[in-house]
Amino acid sequence: MKQAQAIYFANRERVDQLPADADFGPGALETMRLEANGIPLWSLHRARLLRCSAIAPETLVAIETVIQSLSNTCSGWHTAGRVRLRLGRRAGQPGWDLSVVPFDPGTLWQDGVSLVPCTTAFPRGQDNHRGCKTLDRAFYQRAAAELTGSASGESDSREGLLLDADGNVIETLRCNLLLWRAGRWVTPKLERHGVRGVMRDWLLQRLPIAEATVSLEMLCRAEEVALCNSLRGVIPVVSLEGSQTWSRRRETASLQKRIADVLWK
């Protein structure tokens, strides 16, 4: 297996020199949070990278060497870092790149997110049974375009809710879902669609979270709803646009504290 060569290692001054995802070609994507002591969830990102890509051992060693040096990159930022690792092909050759930019947690998302159901749905017969996060972002871009009047990013307190062809809840544009009901957390099954997020995996390893088929009706009946991803940890959901609101956050706050105490220290 041919070792992939690093095309760029970008810091905040050079990130604009990176090629677009579409130019990079098919491949795997990992978005990670960088703290002063490194990437807390790297072992889970690494496991997903191995599951979802044909990565040469030499390439993995090279990537890990760079990652081990990243704590110095954000030492003067007084905030976390956002690391984006891409592994795939460019101009017919295997390659990888890695960008690091400051990550400010102080956006509208910290006060809660409003879910907006997207009409763009996962089609039947298009399986992602390994739960991989890939550089093919076309489906998510089409769904994000439905959130008109905004950049549909974290400067907007809305987040697109993604369903399958049967109307079952799968995930959001950037996160996995958590529902608190009947005294326990539930998360949608991701047997055919969706990304098996690293923060979701971390929580599943530590808490009795049930995986189930989740309908919109079940979502609305939940006592609390939260999102999770590897950058922000757990984010409260305050409403399903036009249908439901949630004000209770006790169990969500408990998850946030656990993550802050164990990972973001």
Does one domain contain both 154 and 42? no
pLDDT, tens digit, 9 for 90 and up, residues 197-245: 999 999 999 999 999 999 999 999 999 999 999 999 999 999 998 789 9
Please enumerate in sequence order all residues whose Cβ is within 8 A of that of 234, keeping only pairs 6 or more positions apart, or say none.
Answer: 178, 199, 226, 227, 228, 252, 255, 256, 259
Closest CA to 185 of 240, 159, 232, 222: 222
Q: Is the pLDDT of residue 257 over 80?
A: yes
CA dihedral 139, 114, 177, 121 (to 10 degrees): -30
Does one domain contain both 170 and 201? yes
Does one domain contain both 117 and 202? yes
Range of the structural domain that residue 79 is part of: 5-103
Token pair listed for 61: 């060693």
Q: What is the pLDDT of residue 54?
A: 87
Q: Is the pLDDT of residue 45 over 90?
A: yes
Q: What is the pLDDT of residue 26?
A: 83
Cα–Cα distance for residue pair 105/246, rounded to 1 Å: 22
| Whole-number Cα distances in Å, 125 to 5, 57, 147, 164 | 34, 32, 26, 11
Flag the least confident range among 3-12, 34-43, 47-56, 59-68.
3-12
Domain with residue 139: its CATH number is 3.20.10.10
Domain with residue 45: its CATH number is 3.30.470
Does one domain contain both 256 and 155? yes
In the chain, what are the helix, strand and coil shares in percent, each to the nearest 5? Answer: 25, 35, 40
pLDDT, tens digit, 9 for 90 and up, residues 82-102: 899 999 887 788 888 888 888
Among 103, 137, 155, residue at a domain's last position = 103
Among 103, 130, 159, residue at a domain's last position = 103
Please enumerate in sequence order all residues whose Cβ is within 8 A of that of 261, keeping only pairs 6 or more positions apart, or say none.
Answer: none
Does one domain contain both 126 and 23? no
Among 75, 103, 131, residue at a domain's last position = 103
Q: What is the pLDDT of residue 14?
A: 57
Q: What is the pLDDT of residue 231?
A: 94
Q: Which secondary-structure segment (H or E) carries 235?
A: strand 233-240
Produce one character per residue of 51-79: b if its CB has 16 or more CB atoms within 10 Å, e if not.
ebbebeeebbebbeebbeebeebbeebee
Q: Is the pLDDT of residue 154 over 70?
A: no
> Mean per-residue pLDDT for 183-208?
97
Does one domain contain both 76 and 115? no
Ranges of H-type helices in the chain? 21-24, 42-52, 57-68, 138-144, 198-204, 216-221, 250-262
- What are the strands of the beta sheet with 5-10, ordered from one edge? 5-10, 93-103, 80-90, 27-34
Q: What is the pLDDT of residue 78?
A: 74
Q: What is the pLDDT of residue 16?
A: 65
| Cβ atoms 12, 61 nearer than 8 A | no
**In the predicted model, what is the mean pLDDT of the chain?**
87
